[in-house]
Structure 1
Amino acid sequence: METMKIASFDRVSELKAFDETKTGVKGLVDAGVLEVPRIFHHSSLKLSNPKPLSSDFTTIPTFDLGGRVFADETKRKNVVQGIKEASEKWGFFQVINHGVPLDLLEKMKDGVRGFHEQLPEVRKQYYGRDFSKKFMYLSNFDLFSSPAANWRDTFSCTIAPDPPKPEDLPEICRDVMLEYTKHVMNLGQFLFEMLSEALGLDPNYLNEMDCSKGLHMLNHYYPPCPEPDLTLGTTQHSDSSFLTVLLPDQIEGLQVNREGHWYDVPHVPGALIINIGDLLQFGASCISKQSQASSCLHRVLLHHWSKTES
């Protein structure tokens, strides 16, 4: 009986049918689905959640950036040292008093929800898989290549170094996107200063290499799921960027992996989560002195731009 079920599952046809609705996972929820479609079913191995029996580590650390202005040099050095240790041990940390207005964080989250909760007819006009576009709305970038789809919709936008035309952005979230990303770019420059110091380099080192010049924005939306034990909102992955600045909402669920075990990241009001990306991690792993850093990080930067251009 089970063999017949598997044989009758035409995955490609179901993927195409789902994609052609142009309304994503939100469209399924709006239609009142009571069961998760098979294209979203993940293997039990991926759904398993191994946790350490005992550990000195509970979750990623949180640092107070003091509004990006430290009262004295000692406090700055302490934060730099903390960021260094967190980057080495976790690859993640959270920051508070980061200089991005708290009301702007809430407006940005409202803007993301507002876009995804618009009428289907409005969302459909943006839906597509033309990855050359500055603004794109779709469900699952790898829908047709991944073993299982994620219960998630996304709109994305390339903000820098070549910004989109304002008229190409949805009106419902246009203004807040442009305002929020200005602050994030400034925060990114500050974080690259701190990370440069953590690597034992001149504070301007990473910024002068243009590590902070590019910004690609992903805005995920996770609709309510009728069978959450069968699927995931986001599968395990690493970010290929230099740095990720993540704005979470109050719904917890984010986990980070360390030494083969998963740790929950609790919600900290007003915090932004920072993730060291693959490119920066690769460059930092080469560093033992500044001469080696220069050679290695420039190779990383060239690789980054070649990937962007392709």
Structure 2
Amino acid sequence: MAVNCAASNSEYDRLKEVKEFDESKMGVKGLSDSGITSIPRFFIHPPETLPCNNFNSSTNTTSIPLLDLANLNSPTHRPKIIRQIKDAATTWGFFQVINHGIPASVLDETIRSITAFHEQPHEIKSKHYRRQEHHGVMYTSNNDLYRSKAATWHDSLQVFTAPEEMKVEDDIPEVCRKEVIAWDFHAAKVAAALFELLAEGLGLEPGKFKELGFMKARLFLGHCYPYCPQPDLTVGIKSHTDAGLTVLLQNQVGGLQVKQGSEWVDVKPLPGALTVNIGDFIQIISNREYQSVEHRVLANSSKEPRISVLIFNNLGGWKESDEFGPLPELLSAEKPALYRQFTVPEFLQSFYSKGLDGKNIVERVTLH
């Protein structure tokens, strides 16, 4: 795909160039592999929004909490772990976990298989390239390509792994099918354990989050952030929050940052660890006891691609008429509701109406 990055304002047709890129099905990995030295114009972000230019510059003086889940079910150790996860979810909204029970071989094979998928020749990989959000298996570049003001430097493989009726295991690319299924199985078990700890931290029954439907909808994402020749002009993924509970596995190429106050903190890859973050739904039902925190990924300046594998554990099983908001058992005269009720269609409309950006649904339902 030929892109004239030097075109003048009068000649520049952004939508035309975006469509050419999308229809080429080459993704940013294809652009990177082609040896380009400057990125297409629609990837360039306004200077004031770039990590290297805004006031939220990265700091390396601190790090997100690290939790050890060993002896999780020990009557002696469990209360301490509950306190630690409550503190992490309250103050950071992000934490890493070790001794989580997923074998190292599964972690390694998951990263290897997703790397192998993204390294496939264009003619093989492009067979899976499509835009059919909220359904099945999809390989694409920039989920919000046509909704965002500027594209970001990453490609993704997306697979809905739950609910049962959305499972499409036979459609998962063969190069990573077995590994995606195994990762989903193990990551779901970790998420279930974390949901129990988070519920107990709020003084609720351990199964409360499962009862609410948090284990009913799962989405797998395998991101690739290839080398970017101009990492100071774009980002890997823009600042945003997630919806439910995210369990993340990453290779050893850094780039993930978490917003803490007015600063951005690097999440340094830790071999064998998983990174977990609290989403907007959990902030809302906990009435802001737990925090959903903005995070972003820098454009990759390393020749080695950054690979990240995620399971999003979102609320499922809702009816269109179901309303959702702070749990009544967490409210009192001293702690009134901070958010109004909302429905599934309202959330989906809010999410899909614009590009990935900020704390969309939280801001929309906050009571003033």
User: Normalising to structure 1: TM-score of the pair?
Assistant: 0.89
Q: What amino acid does structure 2 have at the position aligned with 1:110?
A: R
Residue 212 of structure 1: aligned partner: 215
Residue 249 of structure 1: aligned partner: 251
- Give the superposition deviation at 1:48: 3.1
Instruction: Say if 2:59 and 2:264, in contact at 8 Å, map to a contact too.
Output: no
Residues of 2 paired with 1:178 and 1:215: CA distance?
Answer: 12
Residue 63 of structure 1: aligned partner: 67
Residue 83 of structure 2: aligned partner: 81
Instruction: Say if 2:157 and 2:222, in contact at 8 Å, map to a contact too.
Output: yes
Q: What amino acid does structure 1 have at the position aligned with 2:29?
A: K
Residue 267 of structure 1: aligned partner: 269
Instruction: Say if 2:98 and 2:274, in contact at 8 Å, map to a contact too.
Output: yes
Residues of 2 paired with 1:196 and 1:228: CA distance?
Answer: 40
- Give the superposition deviation at 1:58: 1.2
CA 1:225–1:46: 2 relative to 1, 3 Å? same
Q: Which runs of 5+ in 1 are unaligned?
A: none
Residue 287 of structure 2: aligned partner: 285
Of structures 1 and 2, the one scoring higher in RCO (CA 8 A, sep 6+) is: 1
Q: What amino acid does structure 2 have at the position aligned with 1:202?
A: E
CA 1:155–1:52: 2 relative to 1, 3 Å? closer
SS across alignment from 1:121 = helix
Which protein has the bigger strand share?
2
Residues of 1 paired with 2:346 and 2:108: CA distance?
Answer: 35
* Alignment root-mean-square deviation, CA: 2.8
- Give the superposition deviation at 1:53: 11
Residue 128 of structure 2: aligned partner: 126
Residues of 1 paired with 2:130 and 2:275: CA distance?
Answer: 29
- Give the superposition deviation at 1:101: 1.1
Instruction: Say if 1:67 and 1:99, in contact at 8 Å, map to a contact too.
Output: no
Q: Which residue of 37, 41, 44 corresponds with 2:44?
A: 41
Q: Which residue of 276, 279, 303 corresponds with 2:278?
A: 276
Residue 166 of structure 1: aligned partner: 169
**More deviation, 12-21/46-55:** 46-55
Asked if 1:108 corresponds to 2:146, the answer is: no
Q: Percent identity?
A: 38
- Give the superposition deviation at 1:210: 2.0
- Give the superposition deviation at 1:5: 2.2
Q: Which residue of 212, 215, 234 corresponds with 1:231?
A: 234
Residues of 2 paired with 1:100 and 1:245: CA distance?
Answer: 12
Residue 292 of structure 2: aligned partner: none
Q: Which residue of 168, 184, 189 corresponds with 1:186?
A: 189
Instruction: Say if 1:192 and 1:212, in contact at 8 Å, map to a contact too.
Output: no
Residues of 1 paired with 2:64 and 2:134: CA distance?
Answer: 35
Residue 178 of structure 2: aligned partner: 175
Instruction: Say if 1:102 and 1:270, in contact at 8 Å, map to a contact too.
Output: yes
CA 1:132–1:66: 2 relative to 1, 3 Å? closer
Instruction: Say if 1:201 and 1:290, in contact at 8 Å, map to a contact too.
Output: no
Residues of 1 paired with 2:269 and 2:13: CA distance?
Answer: 40
Which protein has the bigger helix share?
1
